[in-house]
């Protein structure tokens, strides 16, 4: 009989092939010979009178392990990315930071660890999800406790009051930044760059980014409309390779014209690079801005009531839609005019 799946009851080490094993003649329990000799008897000798059997003990242990394994599956949530087992109510993976709310929503459970056949209050993709009745549900904190800290001295509830719009998304982003130091790519910031920062009341960055976008667009358009640019492009396209090789002075002059000809492309590249930087950094910038502003507001209202503090958080935070729309419309109009002048210039040429 193979005993490699069992442990010696004395030293609690698993048996291996080649071990010198002694089996109790009364109950059938295997021991390492050394362990049996040192003990001088069977480990379960005091249970022999009760009819103890190692076979029955092994069967009972196997059933318990299977039962515990089933309950463990109900008490944990498996990360779909790194496969780390997290507590069943974890909102993000403790190892990699992956959002686990969707996993929890698809595995609703009762307090006894058994799956809830009726469904939980919030099922489906959070933060909205669907209730057991099929009606859409809404959780403004995306399952977070309002008293949970998302920054030094700042709770999730206070951050939600300050962000105002899209609190579910920012609750998850703030928690991820607090716990793992990693944010998410901001597609809205990528698409709108300076307008997004203005929308979120980060006026300095918003104006700076917007002006750079407008300036690069206008400057690129202005350059393409100049006769010098048209002449430089024409000369580059008609330049003879032999002339460039045989005349160093001519080749050197073409370098300057090449830089001028490609300048609009470089300016457009700067604009797209700025958009990419906005998408990569916007959430972290807004997180730092929010935590700093909330702490300052809390210091200013240290002796104020909770209602006054909440009103101040809501008025200082939130969004500025009119300003964002104004800059957005201005940018679109300028972009349209630039493209119109370029098209008109090409038709004329």
**pLDDT tens digits for range 324-333:** 999 889 888 8
Summarised one tens digit per residue, pLDDT across range 51-62 is 888 877 776 666
Q: With CA atoms as reference, report the closest residue to 89 among 99, 104, 78.
A: 104
- Most confidently modeled range among 93-107, 117-131, 290-304: 290-304
Check residue 208 and give its pLDDT: 92
Q: Is the peptide bond before 127 cis (omega within 30 degrees of 0)?
A: yes
Please report the pLDDT score of residue 44 as a whole number. Answer: 87
Per-residue tokens: 209: 């980014």
Confidence at 288, pLDDT banded by 50, 70, 90: very high
pLDDT at 154 over 80: yes
Nearest to 217 by CA among 259, 281, 166, 269: 269
Q: Which residues pair with 151 in a beta bridge?
A: 154
Query: 105-119, 173-187, 289-303: lowest mean pLDDT where?
Result: 105-119
Residue 145's nearest CA partner among 190, 191, 89, 193 is 89
Question: Residue 67: what pLDDT?
Answer: 53
How large is the average pLDDT for residues 111-130? 40
Residue 293: how many CB atoms within 10 A of its CB? 17
The answer on pLDDT for 138 being more than 60 is no
Phi-psi label, residue 119: left if phi above 0, alpha if psi -120 to 50, beta otherwise: left
- By residue count, the chain amounts to 349
Say which residue, 14 or 282, is predicted with more confidence: 282
Radius of gyration of the chain from its Cα atoms, rounded to whole angstroms: 35
End-to-end CA distance of the chain: 95
Q: Which helix (H) or strand (E) holds 77?
A: strand 76-78
| Backbone phi, psi, residue 301, to 5° | -110, 35
* pLDDT score of 39 more than 50: yes
Strand pairing class (21-23; 85-87): unpaired
Query: Average pLDDT, stretch 22-39?
Result: 88
The C-alpha atoms of residue 129 and residue 122 are separated, in whole angstroms, by: 6
Query: Of 55-69, 80-94, 311-325, which range is least confident?
Result: 55-69
């Amino acid at each position: 009989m193979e005993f490699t799946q069992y442990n010696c009851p004395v030293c609690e080490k698993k048996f291996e092939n080649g071990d010198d094993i002694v089996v109790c003649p009364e109950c059938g329990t295997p021991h390492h010979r050394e362990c049996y000799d040192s003990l001088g008897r069977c480990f379960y000798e005091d249970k022999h009178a009760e009819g103890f059997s190692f076979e029955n003990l092994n069967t009972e242990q196997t059933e318990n392990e299977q039962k515990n394994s089933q309950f463990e599956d109900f008490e944990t949530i498996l990360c779909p990315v790194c496969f780390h087992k997290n507590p069943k109510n974890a909102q993000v993976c403790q190892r990699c930071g992956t959002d686990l709310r969707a996993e929890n929503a698809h595995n609703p459970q009762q307090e006894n660890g058994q799956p809830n056949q009726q469904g939980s209050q919030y099922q489906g993709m959070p933060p909205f999800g669907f209730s057991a009745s099929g009606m859409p549900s809404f959780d403004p904190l995306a399952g977070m406790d309002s008293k949970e800290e998302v920054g030094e001295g700042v709770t999730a509830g206070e951050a939600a009051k300050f962000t105002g719009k899209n609190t579910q998304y920012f609750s998850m982003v703030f928690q991820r930044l607090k716990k793992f130091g990693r944010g998410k790519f901001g597609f809205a910031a990528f698409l709108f760059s300076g307008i997004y920062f203005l929308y979120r009341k980060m006026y300095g960055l918003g104006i700076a980014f917007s002006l750079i976008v407008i300036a690069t667009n206008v400057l690129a358009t202005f350059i393409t409309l100049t006769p010098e640019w048209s002449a430089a492009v024409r000369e580059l396209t008609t330049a003879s390779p032999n002339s460039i090789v045989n005349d160093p002075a001519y080749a050197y002059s073409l370098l300057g014209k090449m830089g001028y000809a490609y300048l609009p492309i470089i300016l457009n590249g700067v604009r797209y690079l700025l958009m990419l930087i906005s998408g990569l950094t916007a959430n972290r910038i807004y997180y730092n801005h929010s935590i700093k502003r909330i702490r300052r507001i809390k210091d200013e209202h240290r002796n104020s009531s909770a209602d006054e503090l909440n009103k101040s958080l809501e008025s200082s935070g939130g969004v500025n839609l009119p300003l964002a729309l104004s800059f957005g419309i201005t940018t679109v109009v300028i972009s349209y005019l630039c493209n119109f002048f370029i098209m008109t210039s090409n038709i004329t040429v």
